[in-house]
Amino acid sequence: MTLTAFVGGRLFTGYETLAGRALVVEDELVRDIADTAPAGATRIEVAHDHLIVPGFIDLQVNGGGGVLFNDSPDVATIRAIGAAHRRFGTTGFLPTLISDRPERLAAGLAAARDAIAARVPGALGIHVEGPFISRAKRGVHAAAALRTPSGDEIAAISKPNGGVTLLTVAPEVVPPETIAALAGAGVRVFLGHSDANAATVRVALDAGACGFTHLYNAMSALGSRAPGMVGAALADRESWCGLIVDGHHVDPTALKIAIGVKPRGKCVLVTDAMPPVGAARLSFELYGETLTVKDGRVVTSDGTLAGAALDMATAVRNTMSLLDVARDEALRMASAYPADALGLGHRLGRLLPGYRADIAVLDAGLNVTQTWIGGAG
C-alpha cells in the first residue's frame, strides 16, 4: 500500500473548492479528504495559491507531440499522444481515428485494445470519427475513405476493448437499427459530419445515439424552418455536445447559446487536437497534404480547418475568458462532464473517495504544473 497526501493548495473536488484539506490517495484511488495528512503518508506540498483539480478528460484527440494516430495506429503512438497532452492536464483521453481505409480502422481498434491492456497512462479507449459520415459535411476527411459500414466493421467496432469506444456517424448514412445495435453493444454513438434534418437526428437519438461531435462544425445548421442537426442537438435534453473553444472553430456567441440552452453538464470541452500540440513543429501530413498552424488555426493549403492546435488547459481558460463561464464550471466541462459522457462518471472526473486519483495541479493562472494518473506522477 502506498499512501500519499496532497496538502497546502486549494482542492477542487468536482463539486466544490476546499481550503486547508488534505487529499489522501491510496495506491490508485482517492481514499479520503481529511483535515490533516494521515501518519505515514508521503506529503506532496502544493503552493497555497495553486489548485488541485481532477485531471482533464478529452474525448477527441487526433494527435499530439508531433504524431498523428492515423499515421501509425499503434500502442507507441497512443502513448506518445498521451504524454504530450498530459503536460496540459489531460489524464484521460480517447485517441481519435478519422476516416481511413478498412485496414487502418482495424489497426486503430486493435491499438486501443492493446493500449488498455498495457495500461498506457490516460488511455480510455478509442474515438472512431468516420468514415460513416456525410460527403457534404466531411470537412477535411478524405472523400475516398467514406463509406457505409459493413457488417464486419460494425462487429469489430462493437467488440469490447476493455475501455470505451465512441463512434461518430452521420444518421443519414448509418440507419437507426444499426445505431441501436451499436448502442446495445456498449458503443457510445455520437452524431456529426452530417447534413441530416432534425427529424432524422431525432430518430437516431431515439435509437440510442447520445451525443454530438464538435457542435456547430460540419453539421446542418439551425434555421428558422429547418432546425438541422444543430437545432436538434440544442433541443435535446439528454445528449452531450462536444465544444471546441479555441476562438476559431465557433463564434463565442454561438457557444454561449449552446451552454445556456443545454442542461448543465451536457456541454463538454474537447480539443480535436492535431500533432502540433505539445510539439515544436507546426506542420504535418494528412492524406498526403501538408497542414500547418497559422494564427492558431490548423489549416489545409486552401484554408480549410483541420482539427485544432488546442490543449485542454487552454480550452478551460478560453471557456472562462471568451464565454464568461465561472472557473469551477469550466473545470467541470473538462473533467466531470466528459467522464459522464463516456459513462465513466462513477470513477473518473472527480476527486472523491473511491475515484481514480487522476490529478492536475494548476497555478494561479490555471497553467498545469504537475499531473498524476492513477496516483502515479
Active site (catalytic) residues: 272
Q: Cell numbers at residue 294, please?
A: 497559422
Chain centroid to CA 353: how far?
24
Walk across the sheet containing 297-299 and list its strands: 283-286, 289-294, 297-299, 305-308
DSSP 188-224: EEEE-SB---HHHHHHHHHHT--EESSTTTTBPPP-S
- Residue 65 is classified by DSSP as T
Largest CA distance in the chain: 66
Strands 22-26 and 63-64: unpaired
N residues, the chain? 377
How far, in Å, CA of 358 to CA of 189, rounded? 25
Cα dihedral sign for 361, 95, 307, 243?
negative
Ramachandran bin of 12, using left for φ above 0, alpha for ψ from -120 to 50, beta for the remaining angles: beta
DSSP 112-170: HHHHHHTT-TTB-EEEEE-SSS-STT-TTS-GGG--PPPHHHHHHHHS--SSEEEEEE-
Type and span of the H or E element at 285 = strand 283-286
- Residue 172 is classified by DSSP as T
Coil, helix or strand at residue 309: coil
